[in-house]
Structure 1
Amino acid sequence: MRKRIAVLCVATVLAAGAVLLVPTVTTDTSQGDTRVLGITVNGGRTILVGPTEPVTFPLEVTAEDGSGIRSVSPIGVWGPSYGVLKASPMKCTPTSHTVSVCRGTVTVDPARKDVYNDEAGTWFVDLKVNANDGDHFVGQTAGGFSLKRAARISGYGVPPHADEGRELTVKGWLNRSFWSDNKYHGYEGGTAYLQFRPHGSSHWTTVATALSDPTGTVTARVRASGTGEFQWYSPGDKWTGSAISPPLTVTVAAKPGR
């Protein structure tokens, strides 16, 4: 239903003669020697969005024209499943007679339903760069970036003390933000690695791999080999961010005679 409404909104806006920043609506074409030298979204880092808190991230466009750059407008961002976000007005600062760096911000607020679960993934910048002499550059996929659902993972089941060689059942709960109801829920089918760090070491070693069940629970069975810490690490995927659990400490008593 939401996607159908989005299509109807596009048709309505077109009928009214307004400008909507989605690639299927942009009909202008580039003209002259205006070009984009680079686009940076959030400093090149993945944007992680939780279930409720708004996230504002920077957008930077470097453009060039023989006459200089007047403005970057209109500009917006779009993603999967009709996802559209609005960018703030861009402020352009000349770095030479021909090149300018234009900066703005984009805010995504899941509580206001700016995004839905199926809109996580690869997003793009849609823009028009305007030069002082009337030339312009139009780009519908001028720069790509990753917007993902934030994830969390907890760990439990490690006893504070264990005998050497004892089998330990270590569990965790992998969950991610659901923009549909603004809560965290268990994430099924996610990969998680159980890692161990011996006491006094800074190096983590993967000792088991698990896939989360329908509730988001991950389970691994390992032998107690020495005093140290366990943690769960989930690398995430194209739609979901990575997560690391707090460390779980175990003190292991060596077998007699050792």
Structure 2
Amino acid sequence: MTVLTTAGAALASTLFTAPGAHAADSDITFSNVVINKGKPIVLGTGTQIEVPLTYTVKTKAKLDDWWVSVYRGTLDGSETVLASGWIQWNCRQSAAGGYTYYDCDESLQVDPDQLAGSKKLVNSDATIWKTSGTAIKIGGSYDTDLLSYTTRLKRASVIASADASPEPVTKGKPITVKGTLKRANWNTHRYDLYGAQKVTLQFKAAGTTTYTNVKTISTTSAGALQTTVTAVKDGTWRWYYAGNSVTGAYATSGDYVDVR
């Protein structure tokens, strides 16, 4: 296993000092890029996560190093790169037709408050990010390819103070379910109340494993959720927010209510 981080890694020092991308070297190509198993990357505030990354390098040249970057902007030195480091867990090597292939399994280390080049995420970064592949040849020359693969970055959501009460409850009586929807604010590095969003109340009957939708309501301008249902049988209540193009989904852990 090779561990690559921004501290002292040849990869990182080259990435931030190399000139902009140029025409691809036909002897080196990147393919089969998949980030986060094809799902959007969802980030909160102040907590580093590891995002899985897989790709293939095909080369006739002998390489000293290589990597895939996720970025916004133009590759001219001013771009924002979505990583503070890389972990290269494994690159399986094979050969065919005069080419060497590296099938790589890695992780991007992503911290919203500490991106590459001492940058931080801002709310406008919740959008589609592009990718590039860079290979360093033995001897120091390099090749950077602009790749077609993209990934979407979303701001994390959370439903706080979720509660179903009373517990226990008499059959036929009302159950009140509450909660508060919040969303990560990368500009201020905190979670803010998130209003005017549709959130679904779900129920899982005791002895079953599947939640079913009961009703959908909208949060108030202050992000508050509250609704009432009739107690029929024992089970677990939870809120589910499906998210949107810039916000990740969230489901509460569930609150069990005993109906007597």
Does the alignment reach a TM-score above 0.5?
yes
CA distance in 1, matches of 2:204, 2:87: 47
Are the equivalent residues in 2 in contact too, given 1:80–1:122 (CA < 8 A)? no
What displacement does 1:216 show? 1.3
**What is the CA deviation profile of residues 154-208 of structure 1, one whole-angstrom value per residue up to 9, with x for unaligned ones?**
3225211333333333221111221222212212233321111122222211101
Are the equivalent residues in 2 in contact too, given 1:35–1:63 (CA < 8 A)? yes
CA distance in 1, matches of 2:84, 2:66: 11
CA distance in 1, matches of 2:202, 2:85: 43
> Residue 108 of structure 1: which of 107, 110, 116 is its match?
110
Correspondence list, 1:69-84, <5 A: 69-72=63-66, 76-79=69-72, 83-84=80-81
CA distance in 2, matches of 1:104, 1:116: 25
Corresponding pairs, count: 233
- Which residue in the other structure is 1:186 paired with? 193
1:52 maps onto 2:46 in alignment: yes
> Residue 96 of structure 1: which of 94, 114, 133 is its match?
94
Structure of higher CA gyration radius? 1
Are the equivalent residues in 2 in contact too, given 1:149–1:178 (CA < 8 A)? yes
- Which residue in the other structure is 1:139 paired with? 145
Deviates more, 1:43-52 or 1:170-179: 43-52
What displacement does 1:96 show? 1.7
- Which residue in the other structure is 1:37 paired with? 31
1:126 maps onto 2:123 in alignment: no
Are the equivalent residues in 2 in contact too, given 1:35–1:137 (CA < 8 A)? no
Deviates more, 1:205-214 or 1:132-141: 132-141
CA distance in 2, matches of 1:197, 1:30: 54
Taking only the aligned residue pairs, the percentage that are identical comes to 24
Are the equivalent residues in 2 in contact too, given 1:32–1:135 (CA < 8 A)? no
Correspondence list, 1:229-244, <5 A: 229-244=236-251
Q: Structure 1: any 5+ residue segments left out of the alignment?
A: 1-17, 254-258
CA distance in 1, matches of 2:47, 2:16: 26
What displacement does 1:43 show? 4.4
C-alpha distance 141-42 of structure 1, shift in aligned 2 (>3 A): same
What displacement does 1:145 show? 2.2
C-alpha distance 181-28 of structure 1, shift in aligned 2 (>3 A): same
Are the equivalent residues in 1 in contact too, given 2:87–2:109 (CA < 8 A)? no
SS at match of 1:206: strand
Are the equivalent residues in 2 in contact too, given 1:36–1:137 (CA < 8 A)? no
CA distance in 1, matches of 2:180, 2:125: 24
Q: Structure 2: any 5+ residue segments left out of the alignment?
A: 1-13
Are the equivalent residues in 1 in contact too, given 2:85–2:110 (CA < 8 A)? no
- Which residue in the other structure is 1:214 paired with? 221
What displacement does 1:124 show? 2.1
Are the equivalent residues in 2 in contact too, given 1:187–1:216 (CA < 8 A)? yes
CA distance in 1, matches of 2:137, 2:236: 58
Letter in 2 for 1:125: T
CA distance in 1, matches of 2:86, 2:214: 50
TM-score, with length taken from structure 1: 0.73
What displacement does 1:58 show? 4.4
SS at match of 2:130: strand
SS at match of 1:118: helix
CA distance in 2, matches of 1:80, 1:251: 54
Q: RMSD in angstroms over aligned alpha carbons?
A: 3.5
> Residue 167 of structure 2: which of 157, 160, 165 is its match?
160
Letter in 2 for 1:96: S
TM-score, with length taken from structure 2: 0.72
Letter in 1 for 2:112: P
Are the equivalent residues in 2 in contact too, given 1:176–1:184 (CA < 8 A)? yes
